[in-house]
Amino acid sequence: MELPPLSAEDLKQPDEKLGWWLVSTWIGHHAQRAGFALDAIPPEWATRLVEETAKMDSESVANAPLESAFRKACGGDMAAAGRMLRAYVHSGAVAMVNEKYAAVGIKQTVGRKKGGKKAAAVNKAVAAPWHASCAEKARALLEQGKSPRELTGMLATQFQRDVTTIRRVLKKAGVK
């Protein structure tokens, strides 16, 4: 008989049940290593293991969160142990994803930024002639006595752009 690994379904259990899972799996793991069958673990041996685990304290920074969860569970606070175990597994999963995919995301973002600046420069160069023409027509319409309120609507149809775009172009050109 083999101990089942922690599954996504297990992580959905209530905190207290997850804490009990932690202790029972720990006992089962060590029982198998000691040569006991999972259905024949001596209670006094399991009690001694739990007491020793409650005193566990290594100098490993990476293991500190898990050791703390074990100490909580062995001390009887199953709900806190379950919450801590869930957080530990979640942070491990996030670290695995970051390790595998962060470099890809960074590379794509850097590539997009380079392309974005180039594309912006091209778009600006393409837009410059019609921006100048739009501002010129707006000034001419104002000289003819057209109302400044009517400009954006008239120019939007002429240049086949929306009024917000025309308004921005005129504001940037200083046409009021």
Q: Which pairs with CB-CB distance under 8 Å and at least 24 residues apart come from 90-98?
A: 90/11, 91/65
Q: What is the pLDDT at residue 122?
A: 86
25 token code pair:
């799996």
Distance CA 76, CA 35 (A): 26
Q: What is the pLDDT at residue 114?
A: 61
Whether the predicted model's global pTM rises above the 0.75 cut: no
Q: 163-173 and 148-159 helices cross at what angle (nearest 10)?
A: 120
Q: What is the pLDDT of residues 69-125, one digit of tens each?
A: 888 888 889 999 999 999 988 888 888 888 888 777 777 776 665 667 787 888 889
Give 1's pLDDT tier (boundaries 50, 70, 90): very low
Nearest to 171 by CA among 130, 124, 134, 145: 134
Q: What is the pLDDT at residue 127?
A: 92
Q: Indicate whether 4 pLDDT > 80.
A: no
Mean local confidence (pLDDT), 157-175: 92
Q: What is the pLDDT at residue 123?
A: 85
Q: What is the pLDDT of residues 129-162, one digit of tens each?
A: 999 999 999 999 999 999 888 889 999 999 999 9
